[in-house]
Structure 1
Amino acid sequence: MITPAYLQKGDTIAIVSTARKNTVDNLKPTINLLKSWGLEVVIGKTIGLEQNQLAGSDEERAADFQTQLDNPSIKAIWCVRGGYGTVRMVDLLDFTKFKASPKWVIGFSDVTVLHNHLNTMGFKSIHGVMPISIPRATKEAVESLRLALFGEKLSYEISSDPMNRLGTASGELVGGNLSILYSLFGSPSAIDCTDKILFIEDLDEYLYHVDRMMMNLKRNGCLESIKGIVVGAMSSMKDNDIPWGKNALEIIQEVTKQYNIPIIYNFPAGHIHDNRTLIMGNTVSIDVTASKSTVIFN
């Protein structure tokens, strides 16, 4: 996988919207943070645009992202928020200049579209906190983003979860938001799961939907071909009047029980304040023991 150039003081990062609308009014904490890191900031034209839920039309969002892709002075593109809409504009993008001079694309949730699409082209990207979340993010989440952007050592050690499946594995980290991941299978942006470490997280889904998506990963061969799983936050899940009978983690546990692979549950990443940064496409080593779990980015 190709690693974009790590940032240096004086570099410029662009903030854009590929999905839900956002105004510039709530970005002051993020701009101050980036300046404290020695970075310059460009606010994309989609910030402030509005078309119902979206930050302007598909063409406007694609044009703003394309501008940042093609501008050699922009060293990273930070998606302001998720929601929905990235999949509507990804096929309008031309990655020719990006391939010649790759840069970091940052975000999570709906930005999983871009993580998966970039992975199919052979480029790493950054799954992490987004600009609108900076005021609520933990210091650890923010610092992990800085480490990733500036190319410093990134590794995690967390307490063991009773649901974990013990073992060790190494492979390329892929995945992201489970709902988005699920929706991309069968498209040009679908990832190849073979010999990978799969990361999944999700928000605000019905439990039977979680089961449906996990069954899809099982039936399409993804779970059979991976080396390990890192399960992030499964936040604010919903149930029907007649309960499904298992929570989200129990659903994942049931669907994956036949596979002899290490699994980390409740990893601090996803739709939570402590949304630690992950470098998608990077080789990681995971070690799951009875006392702790480690994730090391090689």
Structure 2
Amino acid sequence: MKIPPYLQKGDTVAIVATARKTTEDELQEAVSLLESWGITVIIGNSIGLENNQLAGSDEERAADFEAMTKNPDVKAIWCARGGYGTVRMVDLVDFSALKKNPKWVIGYSDVTVLHSHINNMNAATIHSVMATGVTTATDDTKETLRKALFGETLQYTLPPHTFNKYGKANGQLTGGNLSVLYSIIGSRSEMDCEDKILFIEDLDEYLYHIDRMMMNLKRNHYFEKIKGLIIGGMNDMNDNKTPWGHTALEIIKDITNEYNIPICFNFPAGHTPTNCALVLGKQITLTVNENGTQVTFN
């Protein structure tokens, strides 16, 4: 796996919209944050465009993203906002420049499409807060993103969870938003999880949808292939008039319990108050025992 060059003061980061529309005013706190780190900021042409929910047409969003991959001054590309739409533009992008000279692509949720697609090209990416999310991000969220971008040590220690499954595993970290991972199965962007440690998170889904998606991953042998599993935020779930009868975490526990791998629940990443940065494609050590969980990036 190729690890893009870590940032240094004076480097340039571009902010683009691959999905939902965004205004430049909504990015001011993200710009200020980057500038406080000594980073120069370029605002992409997709910022301010409007096509109903989306930031311009699929072609416009793809062209903006591609232009930043080809700009030699840009060392990282930060996605402005999620929602939906990245899957509509990913196949319009020429990734040859990014494949030859990897640079950091940052975001989460809908950006999972790009994470999986780029990881399949043997380049690492950063699962972290969106640029518009800086306005409500915790200090810990922002600090873990800074550490990830500048190549500083990333290590997370969590308290025990009653659903945790003990064990220790080493492998590349992969994953992202469960709904998005489910939606790209069978495409060329489908996640490769062979001998990897899988991270998943989700938001605002019906509980039976969580069951459906987890069963799909199971029937596609994902849990047989992986070496460990990290469950991030599973927040604001919905139920039907006739209850499903299990929480999201209970669903995940029941479906994955038969596999002899370490499993960590309630990792603070995803649609959570603190969204800790994760370098997807990098080797990690996952240790889960009676004392809690430790995730160390090697």
How far did 1:26 drift?
1.6
- 1:87-107 CA-to-partner distances (Å, cap 9, x unmatched) read 000001111111221100000
* Amino acid corresponding to residue 287 of structure 1 in structure 2: T
Q: Please list every run of at least 4 consecutive aligned residues from structure 1 whose deviation after the TM superposition is greater than 2 angstroms.
A: none
1:69 & 1:296 partners in 2: Cα distance? 29
2:235 & 2:18 partners in 1: Cα distance? 23
Match of 1:133 in 2: 133
Match of 1:235 in 2: 235
How far did 1:196 drift?
0.7
Please list, as runs of the form range in 1=range in 2, the aligned pairs for 1:85-164 lying within 5 A after superposition: 85-164=85-164
- Segment of structure 1 superposing worse, 147-156 or 93-102: 93-102
1:293 & 1:97 partners in 2: Cα distance? 38
How far did 1:273 drift?
2.2
Match of 1:190 in 2: 190
* Amino acid corresponding to residue 198 of structure 2 in structure 1: L
Please list, as runs of the form range in 1=range in 2, the aligned pairs for 1:1-298 lying within 5 A after superposition: 1-298=1-298
2:223 & 2:292 partners in 1: Cα distance? 24
Long gaps (5+) in structure 2: none
* Amino acid corresponding to residue 117 of structure 1 in structure 2: H
- Does the CA-based 8 Å contact 1:50-1:56 persist in structure 2? yes
Calculate the TM-score normalised by the size of structure 2. 0.99
1:120 & 1:30 partners in 2: Cα distance? 28
- Does the CA-based 8 Å contact 1:197-1:226 persist in structure 2? yes
What is the identity percentage for the equivalent residue pairs of Structure 1 and Structure 2? 60
- 1:125-166 CA-to-partner distances (Å, cap 9, x unmatched) read 000011111121111111000000001111101111111111
1:176 & 1:100 partners in 2: Cα distance? 24
* Amino acid corresponding to residue 140 of structure 2 in structure 1: E
- 1:235-265 CA-to-partner distances (Å, cap 9, x unmatched) read 1110000000001000000100110111000
2:273 & 2:107 partners in 1: Cα distance? 14
How far did 1:124 drift?
0.2
RMSD: 0.7
1:147 & 1:161 partners in 2: Cα distance? 26
Long gaps (5+) in structure 1: none
- Does the CA-based 8 Å contact 1:126-1:280 persist in structure 2? yes
* Amino acid corresponding to residue 84 of structure 1 in structure 2: Y
1:178 & 1:97 partners in 2: Cα distance? 28
Calculate the TM-score normalised by the size of structure 1. 0.99
2:42 & 2:273 partners in 1: Cα distance? 25
* Amino acid corresponding to residue 254 of structure 1 in structure 2: D
- Does the CA-based 8 Å contact 1:167-1:289 persist in structure 2? yes
2:273 & 2:8 partners in 1: Cα distance? 26
How far did 1:197 drift?
0.3
2:272 & 2:24 partners in 1: Cα distance? 23
* Amino acid corresponding to residue 10 of structure 1 in structure 2: G
* Amino acid corresponding to residue 281 of structure 1 in structure 2: G
Q: Secondary structure at the match of 1:156?
A: strand
How far did 1:292 drift?
1.6
* Amino acid corresponding to residue 96 of structure 1 in structure 2: S
How far did 1:9 drift?
0.3
* Amino acid corresponding to residue 124 of structure 1 in structure 2: A
- Does the CA-based 8 Å contact 1:72-1:101 persist in structure 2? no
Q: Secondary structure at the match of 1:27?
A: helix
- Does the CA-based 8 Å contact 1:129-1:137 persist in structure 2? yes
- 1:13-62 CA-to-partner distances (Å, cap 9, x unmatched) read 00000000011112111111100000000001111111011000000000
* Amino acid corresponding to residue 267 of structure 2 in structure 1: F
1:81 & 1:102 partners in 2: Cα distance? 22
* Amino acid corresponding to residue 199 of structure 2 in structure 1: F
- 1:222-241 CA-to-partner distances (Å, cap 9, x unmatched) read 01111110000001110000
1:94 & 1:181 partners in 2: Cα distance? 22
* Amino acid corresponding to residue 189 of structure 2 in structure 1: S
